[in-house]
Structure 1
Amino acid sequence: MQKFVGMGVALVTPFNNDSSVDFEALKKLVTYNIDNGTDYLVINGTTGESATITKEEKQQIIDTIVATNNNRLPLVLGIGGNNTLEVVKELQTRDLSKIDGILSVAPYYSKPTQEGFYQHYKAIAEATEKPIILYNVPGRTAKNMEPATTLRLAKDFNNIVAVKEAGNNQQQYNSLLKDKPADFLVISGDDDLALGVALAGGSGVISVIGQAFPVEFSKMIQLGLEGKNKEAYAIHFKLMDVIDYIFEENNPAGIKTVLQELGICANNVRLPLVKASEGLHSKIADFVKNF
């Protein structure tokens, strides 16, 4: 699954001032990433505010990105949730002909056991032939999918090809890297840990900050994959502050503020999220100005 090695970006969904989707800004963001070194695009993930996107909007967003991308980069689509039957139904009914892989978040709110995680993903794997990237983000789902469960799934289903691990836990990354099947990808979902994961044997990152600084972040990840830690860390240190800033209040308010300062899209978010505070906006603006 070389198409998911390197830097993927979890695209934001730009909004107009009236909270409608800004499709022109979305096209601009996609083109900016294609032109500046991003390896693949992730649609309708957490950073895309998937929790507040309607079904109709989701299809319009997919159509816009597919058309703008025009087969240039691999596309990963977020299809997940805590209603297993609904996730399976979407996988079986949505047109996935232009989609290269599925990112499926661990069931949130329900707090399943490890066996519950396994059975949820088993149903998903059996519902599609598309490559599946598991997505473990316990800070949002309220329950950690343990490495043993992830590795059990990796060994039992050929189309479960990767995990986006976002527990901000280096030891959990190491457990996955130590025992994973040779062809299974461990992808960082933590921008601050992504380089260390790449250097330790991971396959790259699905990044938030990368969509704003694709040249630099993708270069850092590539250097990490090549084991060139000194050169890679030089880039990491340049980006450290802004990575902290974008997660200081909420995601994606932070990254949308960066993108606004770069002239790519407005910093509008949908409730219950709110825009970055004036203090945070000021710090981000200073960073972008001096980068």
Structure 2
Amino acid sequence: MTAFARNEQHHTWGQLCWEIRSVNHRYLDISIRLPEEFRRLEVDVQTQVQRQLKRGKIYCNLYLQYSGDANQLTVNQTLVKNLLQAHAHIETLANVTQTPQLLDILRWPNVLENHIDTEQIAIDVMQSLQVTLDALSAHRQREGQQLIQFVEQRCVQITQEIAQIRNLLPEMVQQQREKWQLRLAEITALNPERLEQEMLILAQKSDVSEELDRLTAHIQEIRQTLKTQDAIGRRLDFLAQELHREANTLGAKSGHLTLTKSAIELKVHIEQIREQIQNLE
């Protein structure tokens, strides 16, 4: 589900800031951006996020700003001397003379060193990450409660729609029966017994009682699932798909305008449920 959390901390070495944003996604997909000097923490960050979140596209961004003391650089004189000696040795072997370029030496890894305590910063970073994840989870939980209320309301509306269909079903069946009788009488002269058999076959093919029963059962299962404390997103996904399948069958069997309209209303409510449960873990 959509949520955002930010945690900023100040330390003797400088300040850090975590920004974590989550958007709807069927599975858990984590994107992590760290300063180059702390890329080694990426696996630890991912593991910590996975322990707390189960679903969504998660964007984790870490920003660091070092204090003046931490930004001071010193030259690794031993390494520079070794580089110059290696340069001179290569000149002798190659029988060429070339002045070493200062910028090339400065770009060499570890020639310039700072006074940053990376181990302490790593500890601070991971502690701040947990604080940010807790804030994000709290935000998602608040939104989740609102979504559960929304889904519950749609379940009530679907239940009411099913009840209306059940109440009108005898009337619709009778009207459909009369319509079939006229059509069959026009097509062929059937004896009363054969006509009754054909009517029974058509009635069985258009009977929607089973679809209504399954819709009711799925709605009851959804409402029961909403009461649990476990991760419910994927189970609700499945149940919403089953609801949609039954509503499609109901619409396909419909030979009555009222039933067709009800099937459309059911699909609208079900689609709204499907959209919202993408936000639930």
- TM normalised by structure 1 equals 0.17
RCO greater where, 1 or 2, for CA within 8 Å and sep 6 or more?
2
Name the larger-Rg structure: 2
Larger proportion of helix: 2
